[in-house]
Amino acid sequence: MAAARCKECGKPTRDRSYTGPFYPAGGSNPAIICGRGSCEEPAEEIWLKEEEITRYRNGDRIFDFNTFGGGKIKLADVNPTTTGTPT
């Protein structure tokens, strides 16, 4: 499973089999948050394992990613499905 990290946290250290970095399509997505511990910076780098590198070389560009304790995503302040205010 891929790992999402900010530039400061960099390559995952618990599992040294990660290779990269690779970059999210469209550049840095501030909604994807670094997966290292309590870091809350945008994940600008994606690190892949060997089997994912093979998939990447074969044209795959969509990967599941792993973050510490589950995925973290930053939400907008406004919910567009309601009146424009948070619920």
* Domain definitions of the chain by residue range: 1-76
Per-residue pLDDT tens for 61-80?
A: 988 876 555 666 666 666 56
In the sheet with 45-48, reading across from the earlier edge strand, the strands are 19-22, 45-48, 2-5, 65-66
- pLDDT of res. 58: 92
**Which residue type, as a one-letter code, is found at position 62?**
I
Give the whole-angstrom CA distance, residue 76 versus residue 42. 14
- pLDDT over 90 for what percent of the chain? 21
Kindly calculate the radius of gyration of the chain based on its CA atoms and give it in whole angstroms: 15
Please state the pTM of the whole predicted model: 0.75
